[in-house]
A and B are shown apart, each in its own frame.
Chain A
């Protein structure tokens, strides 16, 4: 099972934080949500998800609670902490700046 080649570890974290910011969700749900809102362009490797979730939880950016899902399954729900919200804001800013800079560089020389 190869790791996802297109995603850097940092970006996965950012995606997860964003996904969770849209509403408390369990691991499987985060997976599907990211697929949905990216319109299918980004598909997270199942194997990469849970370690990332654990990392984020350990860093204090996510907090967890066990609950019952829609299908009556027991599931662990993740939500953003205050630190997580702050980190999401910072990272998003950083990404936007990076993307703008990349766009400028790649567009250079084109008429």
Chain B
């Protein structure tokens, strides 16, 4: 029967009217029936009683009327909600604890989902049909050389377009100063293939791609246009200077577009033809230089597998044509955004670890809520029995209980959402700790409706789950028994479901506590690990002469001059420079061969980390020289002389074959070999958790790199020295942008980032888990005390002392906590194995950690039961006995 909206509103407005009216009508009916019955001989009293019985329950009429109106469901829901709110208001403490613990659970999970969404699910913004895009990279490096890219591009039929890009940096000259900015070199088809339309102006044309005749043009990102040019509407056509060169701005990219990599937001795009002039060395014809990233859009009707097969075929062709360089290489397709699968592995591990932790926290919060609800519902057995007896169907009762828990969880969900939204917004602004402050490495985690839908779903699901338990108990009740006062469920059974929840909570808490203690411990270990350099006393300053338009000879001279100048500063002990530092960014690698090698294909060589270092570098950075010598300024390029090299212990072992490497040789290729003149100790280069890597140190006197990190070891504080270095540089050349000047320890802190993040997160989770456990135990213990006030009173009256009372009341709870703690500690130790992949050098049988965790759990338990315990002991027996 369709009921129009207006009628519903009318009915709802007149609700009290009709209910009252019906009451009156029924009363009058009874009265008149009673009159008739009285006339037939019954007494008034009998007549009224009979009339009432005949009519039956009034509530049923009201129900039927409501059903007749067709709004029964809505009305009942409103009733349920009002009732739930009323009962919750009565029990404020319970409601607060329940809502807060659940808010934490939902909030944490929503944050994790938000991160998950950004990193793995959300399509990259601003790109048309991103699901058709695939990153194409070599399996070894994920990057491809430009000549190989060209061949792939020209010879394939699976892609409608293949683009290549490369991260570059340049100095933007504004006013008199030069500021370092980061962006992409990109092929002309870049924007076309990605399907991006310009916000202003236009994008590249193929003519601008031509090597040697590259158009001097630049496209800026929306962010750059906003922050650096104040959203100038006349920007198109204007000239800007990059590295001293004038370039014409031809366009601005739209707001959402951030390029094809998740972690990097470029400020500009330059045509790839400008690469040689920008970097002072041309990679465009260097087939062996794998330093471009390639992305392609699948042609219509072509599947990923088909494209992969063709790429495999092309790899074989290229290997045949260039056996030395391409022999043994394979190309692979991967979804774009995480540098092929380069970042995917660590990111996925990290994110799944995070998800598991968050799920555990939510479980703990659920367990909390469920046990508290169950405790409360057993308080209300009588009330529920009453309702059943006056005609409420069991379904109705269950629905009311569920409504109560859903109300709680929706409130909690709203709070959790708010927390999550704020945190995600903060994360979106948070810049990963890069040594170059100007680089934009962040993750765009801003609010996505999917995330909030998730939070809503999670809350409702939790509410339903948590409410199921008391609802089940309600269904199993025998109403008559209930009314008589026999609690058939509360007594008699040895282990109620509620008793399982307490150990579960404690187990989860313990596991999390163990995990967080372990990771904190490993963090301290990580800081003490042998890095192969001495952090204390070392300051660094990074710069790039190319950004101030220095060519190679001038740049080289500048480097020498700065090193010499720095040596004259007061307190300085040693100076040197290199193209990067260990555990810094921008490491290059090279391929070398043994002296007796015969197969010189790239894929058969040994990959080594490569650094370019000046004389004095090792002394400055604190790496021990084991034998041989450091470079000298006199080691300049010899036209026909042998190449020289300094290597580390692992290199010596693996490539030279002996620890006595000095004087021995190795090969770069069939016609190029080098002699080892110095041996240094091992160290860490890419990550804290890496195994010992072979490293090769080339002489800066012979090989030039404009990337420069000046390293100064001094007796003054590192930050003071860093400032002095910065001032020194601006004295010598005020136009040279300085990347960052700080202590060596701060400079490399990006290497600690995963460990630090993992430890911080685990610590936070550990604290949350402990809080939840406290809340849960408190709730259960408190309930236990309040249920048995009478019994406690009796025992006290017959002479039980405080200790007996406590053991009576809390005995069961303590047993459950103990069981849970043992379970949790054991599983926490097992979890340590999982942690080993992210966290540094975790020993999974570390007794100290387990003992500390056990102590913490005991403390938590004691804290939680202290209030109820005090209450139990302080009971006045007379009061207690009077209470029901």
| Residues of chain B contacted by A46 (CB below 8 angstroms) | 29, 54-56
What 0/1 readout, one digit per residue, does chain A (22-58) give for beta carbons within 8 Å of chain B?
0000111100000000000000001100110011001
Q: Which residue of A lies closest to B27 (CB)?
A: A74
B635 close to chain A: CB less than 8 A: no
Q: Is the CB of B65 within 8 A of A54?
A: yes
- State A46–B68 Cα separation when bound (angstroms): 16
Please, how many angstroms separate the alpha-carbon atoms of A58 and B32 in the complex?
Answer: 25
Task: Give 1 or 0 for each of B18-30: 1 = CB within 8 Å of chain A CB.
Answer: 1001101110110
- Contacts A47-B56, A51-B68, A54-B68 given; indicate if A76 touches B25 (C-beta within 8 A): yes
Proximity string of chain B (30-66) to chain A, C-beta cutoff 8 Å, 1 when within and 0 when not:
0111010000000000000000001110001100110
Interface residues of chain A, those whose CB is within 8 Å of chain B, are: 1, 26-29, 46-47, 50-51, 54-55, 58, 69, 71, 73-76
A26: B residues at CB distance < 8 A: 28, 32
A-B residue pairs, 7 tightest by C-beta: A51-B64, A28-B32, A75-B28, A76-B25, A28-B29, A73-B31, A55-B68
Interface of A, secondary structure class, is: helix
Chain B residues with CB under 8 Å of A51's CB are: 61, 64-65, 67-68
**Complex: chain A residue closest to B18, CB-CB:** A54
> For residue B31, which residues in chain A have a CB less than 8 angstroms away from its CB?
71, 73
Task: State A63–B18 Cα separation when bound (angstroms).
Answer: 14
Interchain nearest-CB distance for A58 vs B (Å):
7
In contact, B60 and A47 (Cβ under 8 angstroms): yes
- B633 at interface, CB cutoff 8 A: no
Cβ contacts under 8 Å, B35 to chain A: 71, 73
Complex Cα distance, B76 from A75, in Å, reads 29
* Closest CB in chain B relative to A66 CB, distance in Å: 8
Give the residues in chain B near A55, CB-CB below 8 Å: 68
Known A-B contacts: A50-B61, A51-B65, A76-B28. Give 13 more (CB < 8 A): A46-B29, A47-B56, A50-B22, A50-B25, A50-B64, A54-B68, A55-B68, A58-B7, A69-B28, A69-B32, A71-B32, A71-B35, A75-B28
| B141 interfacial contact with A, CB 8 Å | no
Q: Are B25 and A27 in contact (CB under 8 A)?
A: yes
Interface residues on B, range: 20 to 34
Q: How far is the CA of A29 from the CA of B28 in the complex (A)?
A: 11
- Chain A residue, CB-CB nearest to B28: A75
Bound-state CA distance A96–B64 (Å) is 31
Whole-angstrom CA separation of A26 from B56 in the bound complex: 19
Q: Are A47 and B28 in contact (CB under 8 A)?
A: no
A-B contacts, CB under 8 A, total:
58
In the bound complex, do residue A28 and residue B56 qualify as a contact, i.e. CB atoms below 8 Å apart? no
Residue of chain A at shortest CB distance from B55? A46
How distant is the Cα of A13 from the Cα of B67 in the complex, in angstroms?
Answer: 17
Residue of A nearest to B36 (CB): A32
> B24 near A74 (CB under 8 angstroms)?
yes
Chain B residues with CB below 8 A from A74, complex form: 24, 28
How far in angstroms is the closest Cβ of chain A from B729? 88
Residues on B with beta carbons closer than 8 Å to the beta carbon of A29: 32
Contacts A46-B56, A47-B61 given; indicate if A76 touches B32 (C-beta within 8 A): no
A sample of 9 cross-chain residue pairs with beta-carbon separation below 8 angstroms, ordered by A number, consists of A28-B32, A47-B64, A50-B65, A54-B18, A54-B22, A58-B68, A71-B31, A74-B28, A76-B21
| Residues in chain B near residue A1, CB distance under 8 A | 56, 60
Most chain A C-beta atoms within 10 Å of own C-beta, residue among B26, B31, B32, B55: B32
Binary per-residue interface labels of chain B (424-438) against chain A in the complex, 1 for a CB within 8 Å, 0 otherwise? 000000000000000
Nearest chain A residue, comparing its CB with the CB of B32: A28
B68 x A73 contact (CB < 8 A): no
CA distance A47 to B63 in the complex (A): 12
Q: What is the distance, in angstroms, from A43's C-beta to the closest C-beta of chain B? A: 12
Chain A hits for B26, CB < 8 A:
50
Give Cα A55–Cα B54 distance, bound, in whole angstroms: 22
Q: How far is the CA of A50 from the CA of B22 in the complex (A)?
A: 9
Determine if B69 is an interface residue (Cβ-Cβ < 8 Å).
yes
Assembly CA distance A71 to B68 (angstroms): 31
Residues of chain B within 8 A of A75, CB atoms compared: 25, 28, 32
CB <8 Å contact, A76 and B24: yes
* Nearest neighbor of A49 in chain B, beta-carbon distance: B29
Q: Find chain A residues with CB under 8 A from B61 CB.
A: 47, 50-51
Most chain B CB neighbours (cut-off 10 Å) among A46, A51, A76: A51
Q: How many Å from the CB of A99 to the closest CB on chain B?
A: 26
- Bound-state CA distance A28–B26 (Å) is 9
A64 closest partner in B (C-beta) = B21
Closest chain A residue to B67 by CB distance? A51
- Chain B residues lying within 8 Å of A28, measured Cβ to Cβ, are 28-29, 32-33
CB distance from A40 to the nearest CB of B (A): 15
Q: A51–B35 Cα gap in the complex (Å)?
A: 23
A55 to B65, CA, bound (A): 8
Docked Cα-Cα span, A67 to B96, in Å, equals: 52
Q: Which residues of A contact B21 (CB under 8 A)?
A: 76
> In the assembled complex, how far is the CB of residue A63 from the closest CB belonging to chain B, in whole angstroms?
14
Instruction: Give Cα distance in the complex from A29 to B31, angstroms.
Output: 12
Contacts of B24 in A (CB 8 A): 74, 76
- Shortest CB–CB separation between residue B27 and chain A, in angstroms? 8
Chain B, residue nearest A32 (CB): B36
Q: Find the B residue at minimum CB distance from A55.
A: B68
A contact residues around B29 at 8 Å (CB): 27-28, 46, 50
Which residues in B have their C-beta under 8 angstroms from that of A47? 55-56, 60-61, 64
The CA-CA distance from A82 to B67 in the complex, in Å, is: 26
Cα separation A75 to B27 with both chains bound (whole Å): 9
Chain A residues within an 8 Å CB radius of B7: 58
Q: Which residue on chain B has the smallest CB distance to residue A1?
A: B56
